[in-house]
Structure 1
């Protein structure tokens, strides 16, 4: 039996939600790690400019 029902009327299991959350967390860590510690100036500067445009402190 499914443990949750989404607003679209489809059912989602708890294991599926955990998998989705885990994938989203890994994707976020990869993006932050890649952009934040990239040796390519273009990638690093783009991430830096984006943080400033969203009023997120980065220094």
Structure 2
């Protein structure tokens, strides 16, 4: 009987992991770039609208 448990590091890097990481970067980098160049008022208004959309009170 084999009692050795496979760990994620022992499994190696699979194509599915590369695909997931690439997809996350493709989504995250434009968002970070946009937030970095957005004005403070635009960021505040966006956060305010998101709070309202989630049903959270903000004032």
Same fold per TM (> 0.5)?
no
**Larger C-alpha radius of gyration, 1 or 2?**
2
Larger RCO, structure (CA 8 Å, separation 6 or more): 1
Please, what TM-score do these two structures have when normalized by structure 1? 0.41
Please, what TM-score do these two structures have when normalized by structure 2? 0.41
Greater fraction helix: 2
Greater fraction strand: 1
